[in-house]
Structure 1
Amino acid sequence: MKVLHVITGLAAGGAEQQLRTLLPHMDCASEVAVLTAPGVLADAIRAGGSPVRVVGMDGNRDLRALPRLTALMRAGRYQVVHAHLFRACVYAPLAARLAAVPAVVATEHSAGARHIEGRAVTAPIRSLYRTATQLTHAVVAVSPTVADRLHAWGLPRSRVVTIPNGVDLSAFRHDPRAAGLARARLGIPPEAFVVGGLGRMVAGKNFHLLVEALPHLDGAVLLLVGDGPELPRLRLLAARLGVGRRVVLAGESAHVPELLSAMDVLAAPSQEETFGLAVVEALAAGLPVLYGSCPAIDDLPPGTAPGARRVPPHRLTAELAALLAGPRTRLPPPPGLDRYDVRRQARRLHDLYDRLLTRHHQERLT
């Protein structure tokens, strides 16, 4: 089976990291087409054995990308095209149908209640998404929460398949040596209490709450991992509060496990998430986690992820202060995380591809 994954970009965001994690576990020949600039993960994906093709799309309305993508699909003779992220989910299904690809799948990683990938969920956006995904044979939702939202947008439940994101749990196991090296590289003292934030630096992630908490956390360091348009505002806020020297901006990274090992707690204050990949990764690393929204944890049986606690924004500083005052211990990864093992996700996706191809062959015979 030959599969082409089409994704908008390959910056170190959650969906992009998810694709990178998934590819080595897929029992098929996988290639990647990136619509825009390759980003920091392209080399990591190539190193894992999957070719990366750059379409060279220049903006959302660059329609020249459509014939280029169609030609790529025809030349590659792919049996499955799998789109990831909004722009790819708009362009790739049409290109795949023009190229007569037998099975077309889209995964929705980022459908929030009010925003999708930073853009407001308006009636035209919902209509565009609904129209584009009518050209797919299945839409994968990364959580039941996302499946419900897609149904509310007008997608029939019969075409939506819920397959949670996957994490290579063993890769995130806490490594004290890696923690020490990461702290030394970033200039963080070995004894410092490190509050971590991981994700795209956009307004909806609410990372400003972590900067605002720092003046009340004596000696703590804030380590933010990711890139995005909010970074200049976060720098200015840290300077205004007098904590600039205690805020470490690591930027995008393809080495998230090492950076999680360097943290003492992960804080994920976003109030709107579609899955909560950073929370799952932090729990796999043995970190206590304070979160605002995380369907991945909410979908687990109660009590199976004791290291994660939902905290409203007004309580975040107090909860961080309590952890700062207490003992620093690493927790065992909770057993509930087995549900999100990437190998299980890979098997379910492969089974989906098989079903769609079998249906295609049966339809051709009738």
Structure 2
Amino acid sequence: MRVLHVITGLDAGGAEQQLRLLLRHRQVETEVVALCNPGVVADGLRADGVPVHLVPMSGNTDVAAVLVLARLIRRGRFDVVHTHLYRACVYGRLAARLAGVRTIVATEHSLNGELIEGRPVDRPGVRGLYVATERLGRATVAVSADVAGRLREWGIPDQRITVLRNGTDVEGHRFDSSDRERVRRRYALPADRPVVGVVGRLEAPKRVDVLLDALPRLPGVTALVVGRGGERAALERRAREAGVADRVVFTGEVDDVAAHLSAMDVLASPSPEETFGLALLEAAASGLPVAYASGPVLDELADPRHVRVTPDRDTVATAVATLLDRPPDRRPAVGLDRFDVSRVAAELHALYLRLTDREPTPRKALS
């Protein structure tokens, strides 16, 4: 079996990192196409031995790129095309159909009440285009029950939806004291300095500004902001205006998130609407206390070190201060085995086999 994954970009975002983790456990010949931004994840995939192609798509009216992608799919003789993120799902499914591929799968990583991967769902054409092209595939994978529910609300038939939660390298994200020392040295952070971190794209929906606004209420605490995005300049300006610029470290994009988690004492996630929360899962594996506004994965784990907050500066400041005052406990959260990425990869492979008729569908038990 030959599988092609089509993804909008390969910067260090949650969906992109999840794809790389899954492909480390691939059981079939696999290649990847990015439609823009081949960042550090593209480099990582190549280092893992996965061929990565770039079919640059200048915008949503770039029909020529769709035809180029269709030719690449046809030439590669792929049995399965698996798409990820809005643009790739819309145009990747179309290209796969043009190339004559019968088994097309999509993963919906982020669909909440107002946004689908950063796009307002009420913007003309966004929802309609997504639903129309969804019909070109065989199945849509939802990364959480919440996402599956919203897909049903959009009119996607239940039999076309498979819930397959994200996973992570649980062992690889365990707390490591040597990583903690190394990362802290990199940013000149004293060993005894309390550090509250945030991990993710620096975009408005993630509400990193809430943590910066809370920092004046956390004297002596440094914020470690891990990620890149269009809001970085505005966040740097906000830190200066709040008088805490000397206590905020912007790391940019990093390829050792697990080590950065080890360097933190608390993770803050003020994002008010997360459809899963991959960074939260990684924090749970690192044994980090977490103050979070939304995160289905932490709701399911139900660890007392994970505290729900409203996304405002006072509540976040109070929660972070409370968590910092507790005795440190960096044991991984209980129940993480069901989120191990090797298990997720095996379930995805089983889905491919069913959809390509290479494994008989299990018969339902007689009542």
Q: In structure 2, how many angstroms separate the alpha carbons of the residues matched to 1:99 and 1:90?
A: 15
CA distance in 1, matches of 2:115, 2:164: 21
- Structure 1 window deviating more from structure 2 (312-321 vs 265-274): it is 312-321
Identify the residue that residue 345 of structure 1 maps to in structure 2: 344
Equivalence map 1:51-62=2 (5 Å): 51-62=51-62
String of CA shifts for 1:22-74, please: whole Å, max 9, x gaps: 10112111110001121121111111111100111112322211011001101
> Which letter maps to 2:61?
R
| Residue matched to 1:127 | 128
The answer to whether the 8 Å contact 1:217/1:324 transfers is no
Q: Deviations over 1:256-313 (max 9, x none)?
A: 111111111111111111101111100101101111111122345xx4x332121123
Are positions 1:90 and 2:90 aligned together? Answer: yes
- Partners of 1:104 and 1:45 in 2: CA distance: 22
CA contact (8 A) 2:175 2:330 kept: no
- Alpha-carbon displacement from aligned partner over 1:224-271 (angstroms, at most 9, x marks no partner): 111111111111110011110110001111211111111111111111
Superimposed CA distance per residue, residues 138-188 of structure 1 (whole angstroms, 9 cap, x where no aligned partner): 000000000000110111111010000011101101111111111111222
Give yes or no for contact 1:20–1:45 (8 Å, CA) kept in 2: yes
* Greater Cα offset, 274-283 or 115-124: 115-124
Contact 2:223-2:249 within 8 A present in 1 as well: yes
Matched residue pairs, number? 358
TM-score of the aligned structures, taking structure 2 as reference length: 0.94
CA contact (8 A) 1:17 1:41 kept: yes
Shift of 1:361: 11
Q: CA deviation at 1:335?
A: 2.3
- Once the 2 structures are TM-superposed, how far is the Cα of residue 326 of structure 1 from its aligned partner? 3.6
Gaps in structure 2 of 5+ consecutive residues: 362-367
Q: Sequence identity, in percent?
A: 50
Show the counterpart of 1:16: 16
Partner Cα distance (1:124, 1:131) in 2: 10
How far apart are residue 77 of structure 1 and its match? 0.6
Matched-pair contact (CA < 8 Å) for 2:305–2:323: no
1:147 corresponds to 2:148: yes
Matching residue of 1:256: 257
**Helix, strand or coil at the partner of 1:358:** coil
Shift of 1:333: 1.1
Q: Does the alignment pair 1:313 with 2:311?
A: yes
Instruction: Write the distance in 2 (CA, Å) between the matches of 1:117 and 1:188.
Output: 34
2:205, 2:271 within 8 Å by CA — same for their partners in 1? yes
Q: Which residue of 1 is the match for residue 106 of structure 2?
A: 106
Match of residue 356 from structure 1:
355
Partner of 1:333: 332
TM-score (norm 1): 0.95
State the partner residue of 1:269: 270
| Aligned 8 A contact 1:106 1:136 in 2 | yes
Distance 1:159 1:280, change over 3 A: same
CA deviations 1:65-114 (Å, max 9, x no partner) are 10110011011111110000000000111111111113100000011110
Q: Does the Cα contact within 8 Å between 1:196 and 1:222 map onto a contact in 2?
A: yes
Considering only aligned residues, what root-mean-square deviation do their CA atoms show, in Å? 1.6
Task: Tell me the residue number matched to 2:30.
Answer: 30
**Alignment map for 1:266-305 (pairs within 5 Å):** 266-300=267-301, 303=302, 305=303
- Asked if 2 retains the 8 angstrom alpha-carbon contact of 1:306 and 1:334, the reply is no
| Distance (whole Å) between structure 2 residues aligned to residue 278 and residue 131 of structure 1 | 31
Residue 62 of structure 2 corresponds to residue 80 of structure 1: no
